[in-house]
Amino acid sequence: MLKEKLKDYKIILASSSPRRQQFFRDLHLDFDVRLKEVDEIFPDDLKHHEITDFLALLKSNAFDTNLADNELLVTSDTIVWHNDRALGKPKDYNDAFEILKSLSNATHEVITSVCFKTNQKTVLIHEVSKVTFCELSDEVIDYYIKNYKPFDKAGAYGIQEWIGFVGVSKIEGSYSNIMGLPVKRVFDYFQQLP
């Protein structure tokens, strides 16, 4: 459906995330993956979606001199926001355990920002979804970390994995956003391109 709409663009996805790449394939997009190393450091005074907006834009700015006129770059960043702070990817088993323990029997927000960049303009969007976990026992947390190794995931979990099936009691908002990309918002943006 989008192929005709985007025939004049070369889509560049700047993400190593297998989930984001799969979403682009599921939208039947022709795209290239192009990666640049970026230190994902943000100012301490940023809160909530300001963090993901900043990081998605930072990732896109790494390509400022590398875009051809017909290229449309897509960058993205996702955080888990809980107790007024950003939870990133866990450093190790203990960090993952502490993060999941803090999410147990509580509601947190998953925030994803997406930056669309061409040589002519830059557009930034963000989406917020809420996830409520039931009480997670130490055994459940231990089993999940040892079997699924969620060290590449913000908040130390993947909603589409076992922990999402047995531990999540409520979701408000976009499910795909919790996986790392608000697919409907991306689709809508592509749909309205000239």
pLDDT band at residue 26 using 50, 70 and 90 as cut-offs: very high
Looking at residue 59, its pLDDT comes to 97
Give the residue among 75, 81, 58, 40 at the shortest CA–CA distance from 186: 75
Q: Could you tell me the end-to-end alpha-carbon distance of the chain, in angstroms, rounded to an integer?
A: 15
pLDDT band at residue 116 using 50, 70 and 90 as cut-offs: very high
pLDDT mean over 44-70: 95
User: Active site includes 77?
Assistant: yes
Catalytic choice (32, 64, 69, 77): 77
- Look at residue 5 and tell me whether its pLDDT is greater than 90: no
How many Å apart are CA 36 and CA 17, to the nearest integer?
13
pLDDT mean over 95-115: 98
pTM: 0.93
Residue whose tokens read 């993205």: 76
Phi and psi dihedrals of 111, rounded to 5? -120, 125
Torsion angle in degrees (nearest 10) through CA of 159, 160, 165, 166: -50
- Look at residue 168 and tell me whether its pLDDT is greater than 90: yes
CATH class held by domain 2-191: alpha beta
pLDDT band at residue 2 using 50, 70 and 90 as cut-offs: confident
Looking at residue 65, its pLDDT comes to 82
- Look at residue 64 and tell me whether its pLDDT is greater than 90: no
Write out pLDDT tens, residues 118-161: 999 999 999 999 999 999 999 999 999 999 999 989 899 999 99
